[in-house]
């Protein structure tokens, strides 16, 4: 009874918060797609019936434990993993995943997973449908084989017979979802969905706070002018990539890039035009980068690119491609006059160093790429120089 009272007190505030949005959802005219999904939506409530609390006392204790942890300040990733772990104590599932909104990619990304089979990337693609449905309905969905064609594709990929989808909220908005897969069509019950719904509601305050902290951290590591990562972020990422490269025995390429005669351009057209050029250069530098690559503004008109699992040949190809793209681009100065007077052509110099051939430490790698950049400037600018070339010349002399 004490557990029931504690759960009831904690959940009363959610009944009021959800009331407006739920009634609005009910009163608005549903689309054909929404009507179809309603067949698989589970009717849930903000309070648990006393008989369910008595029957599933151990699962209710998990909810109370989540409630007590709600005051802890954690990283968003840790909170999502906690939700996944506690869900496993409430229901048994074959495999599971937690998706949450990624501001940079403007899409829900998988942030935690448990026992998912190797699917060659099929799971994230098909799972996007469940993310969409979860956001659209705003309640748990219980789907089995032959419910929907899209679901069957995902269940085939997961080697599962059913999936329970529970939305995750931040300030009354669906910002993610928990997807749990079962081996049988009856792996999950509506009672399971109700318990996980309460778990989602209890987790909301933690998710809201941790999501806000993650957003602030992202802003702190983003250069406001170019949209690239900051030097501070780059330093942390380089530490991580070097540790990973040492474990795997793979190379890392570092490209130090400087805009040639940038001061001359600033003096001629002003700092406002210089800022526009910096943004345009940043856009060109990141246009063809892989997801694993990192582009950062190193300072002033200097940029730095971190290319994991890239050796000398690959790094040189990337550097030459970028140098040529900048050289061929038209940069508009915003100055008054004929069209041809509003266009400026600029060039870049690039220094390249590769771990572990030219450097065994973070400091040495940065210094080697900087030395190669200085050599590119000395040789007349608008060129790419590899530190390995400088090293060979020194050894030959």
Domains by residue range for the chain, with CATH: 2-215 (3.30.450.40), 231-396 (3.30.70.270)
- The pTM for the full model equals 0.54
Residue 43 designated active-site: no
Question: Looking at 59, 301, 358, 375, which residue is catalytic?
Answer: 301
* pLDDT reported for residue 50: 92
Query: For the chain, how far is it from start to end, CA to CA, in angstroms?
Result: 86
- Give the C-alpha separation, 346 to 281, whole Å: 10
Q: How much of the chain is in helix, strand and coil states, percent to nearest 5?
A: 55, 20, 25
**3-state SS class at 107:** strand
Alpha-carbon distance of 238 to 362, in angstroms, equals: 7
Separation between Cα atoms, residue 84 and residue 89, nearest integer Å: 9
| pLDDT digits (tens), the chain, 397 positions | 444 443 333 333 343 344 334 433 334 455 556 667 888 999 999 889 999 999 999 999 999 999 888 777 778 888 899 999 999 999 999 999 999 988 766 788 898 999 987 654 444 556 788 999 999 999 999 999 888 777 888 898 889 999 999 999 988 899 999 999 999 999 999 999 999 999 999 999 888 887 776 665 566 678 889 989 889 889 988 998 999 899 889 999 999 999 999 999 999 888 889 999 999 999 999 998 998 899 999 999 999 999 999 999 999 999 999 999 999 999 987 655 555 557 789 999 999 999 999 998 999 999 999 999 999 999 999 999 999 988 877 777 6
List, in order, residues 6 or more apart from 102 with CB less than 8 Å away.
108, 109
DSSP secondary structure letter of residue 31: P
- Do residues 164 and 182 lie in contact, with contact meaning Cβ atoms separated by under 8 Å? yes
The side-by-side arrangement of strands in the sheet containing 173-182 is 107-114, 95-102, 173-182, 162-170, 141-144
> φ and ψ at 188, to 5 degrees?
-125, 145
Strand partners, 176: 100, 168
What is the chain's length? 397
């Amino acid at each position: 009874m004490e557990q029931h009272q504690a759960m009831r007190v904690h959940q009363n505030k959610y009944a009021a918060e959800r009331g407006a949005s739920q009634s609005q959802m009910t009163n608005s005219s549903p689309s054909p797609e929404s009507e179809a999904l309603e067949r698989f939506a589970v009717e849930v409530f903000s309070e648990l019936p006393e008989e369910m609390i008595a029957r599933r006392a151990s699962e209710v204790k998990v909810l109370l434990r989540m409630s007590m942890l709600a005051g802890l300040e954690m990283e968003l990733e840790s909170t999502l993993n906690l939700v996944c772990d506690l869900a496993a104590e409430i229901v048994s599932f074959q495999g599971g995943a937690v998706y949450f909104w990624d501001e940079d990619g403007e899409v829900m990304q998988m942030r935690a997973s448990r026992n998912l089979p190797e699917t060659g990337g099929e799971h994230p693609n098909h799972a996007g449908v469940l993310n969409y449905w979860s956001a659209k309905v705003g309640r748990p969905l219980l789907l089995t084989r032959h419910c929907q064609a899209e679901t069957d594709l995902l269940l085939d990929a997961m080697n599962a017979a059913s999936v329970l989808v529970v939305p995750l909220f931040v300030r009354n908005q669906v910002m993610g979802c928990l997807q749990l897969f079962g081996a049988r069509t009856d792996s999950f019950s509506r009672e399971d969905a109700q318990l996980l719904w309460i778990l989602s509601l209890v987790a909301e305050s933690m998710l809201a706070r941790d999501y806000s902290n993650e957003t602030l951290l992202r802003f702190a590591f983003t250069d406001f002018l170019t949209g690239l990562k900051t030097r501070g972020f780059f330093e942390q990422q380089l530490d991580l990539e070097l540790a990973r490269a040492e474990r795997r025995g793979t190379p890392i390429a570092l490209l130090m890039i400087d805009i040639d005669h940038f001061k001359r351009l600033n003096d001629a057209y002003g700092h406002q035009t210089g800022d526009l050029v910096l943004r345009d250069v940043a856009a060109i530098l990141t246009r063809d980068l892989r997801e694993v690559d990192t582009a950062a503004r190193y300072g002033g008109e200097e940029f730095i690119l971190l290319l994991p699992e890239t050796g000398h040949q690959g790094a040189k190809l990337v550097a030459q491609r970028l140098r040529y793209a900048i050289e061929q681009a038209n940069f508009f100065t915003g100055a008054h006059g004929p069209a041809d007077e509003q266009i400026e052509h600029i060039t870049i110099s690039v220094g390249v160093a590769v771990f572990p051939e030219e450097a065994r430490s973070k400091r040495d790698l940065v210094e080697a790429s900087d030395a190669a950049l200085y050599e590119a400037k000395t040789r007349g600018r608008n060129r790419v120089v590899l530190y390995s070339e400088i090293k060979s010349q020194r050894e030959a002399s």
